[in-house]
Amino acid sequence: MFPVRIDNLRYSPNGHPVLDGIDLHLGSDGITLVLGPNGAGKSMLLRVLCGLVEPCGGTIDWGGGVRPARGVMMVFQHPMMLRASVLENVALGLKPLGVSAPERQRSAMAVLERIGLAHRADDSARQLSGGEKQRLALARAWLTRPRLLLLDEPTASLDPSATAEVERIIREIRTDGTRILMVTHNLGQATRLGDDIVFISAGKVCEHTPTRRFFARPASEEARLFIQGELPWRMTF
């Protein structure tokens, strides 16, 4: 499946380019943070990668093969919470894999213990806090042992302690062998978590560099302005 090579990826609904020729190379290990202003195409890139959106042009090469159906998972900013217990919500991830119900529950309990939510296994998932919901969503994805995990702003609107807990779990998932591509607006988080940074602006990758170099010496003017909080919003009428 790796390396994933993205060449000239385009997506233009109604003629408006959201992804305007994305080129990207993802190796088999690490956490890549995707940064960029609102409307840059970050989330759309994830949606194309996980197969939710069909690109208008360009190619994605999955290590010479086709995209593995169950090798890519995505955690959304507002994850789905069924009207069911925390345990049932986590176990849901294994349902399409044909795993038996008792085995699903056993595996879900094991992963809940790793994310520190085992004591809430029988509680309603909808009554969890925002941070706990994100941890549940990460657990649900982790349970399926994806090769590539796409995270769309999983810590947006979380307080610092909840953010720290989510980041701990993301590191654990990575240590477990999952490649992570994560969108964030939190520059502090990018420095804490990211091995490398992909900076996207106006549907294009402006630079893809190791985290330390990105913040010390951004190669593109857009990235420099973004870090300084001076990059103007992309206005399209």
Partner 1 sequence: MFTSTFVDALALLATFDARVGEIVWLSLKVSGGAVVLGTFIGLPLGACLAVGRFRGKHVALVLLNGMMGLPSVVVGVVVYLFLSRSGPLGSFGLLYTPSAMVVAQTLLVVPLMAAISRQVVEDVWQRYAEELQVMCFSWWQSVTTLLYDCRHSLMVAVLAGLGRAMSEVGAVMIVGGNIDRSTRVMTTAIALETSKGDLPLAIALGVVLILLILGLNAFAFLLRQWAMQRYD
**By the criterion CB under 8 A, which residues form the site for partner 1?**
47, 50-52, 69-70, 72-74, 76, 79-80, 82-84, 92-93, 95-96, 124, 126, 140, 144
C-beta separation of 75 from 133 below 8 A: no
Helix (H) or strand (E) holding 232: none
CA 21 distance to own-chain centroid: 20
Q: What does the CA dihedral 160, 166, 168, 170 come to, rounded to 10 degrees?
A: -140
Q: Hey, what's the torsion of the CAs at 34, 138, 95, 129, to 10 degrees?
A: -130
- Asked if residue 140 lies in contact with residue 89, where contact means CB atoms within 8 angstroms, the answer is yes
CB of 74 to partner 1, least distance (A): 5
Min CB(231)–partner 1 separation in Å: 29
Closest to partner 1 by CB, 69 vs 216, is 69
- Least Å distance between CB 70 and partner 1? 5
Other C-beta atoms within 10 Å of 83: how many? 9
Name the minimum Å distance from CB 78 to partner 1: 9
Q: How many residues does the chain have?
A: 237
The nearest distance, CB 235 to partner 1, in angstroms, is: 27
Q: Which is nearer to partner 1, 97 or 110 (CB)?
A: 97
Nearer residue to partner 1 within complex by CB, 93 or 218: 93
Nearer to partner 1, 70 or 217 (CB): 70
The residue (of 84 and 110) whose beta carbon lies closer to partner 1 is: 84
Please list, in sequence order, all residues whose beta carbon lies within 8 angstroms of the beta carbon of residue 122, skipping any fewer than 6 positions away. 85, 86, 87
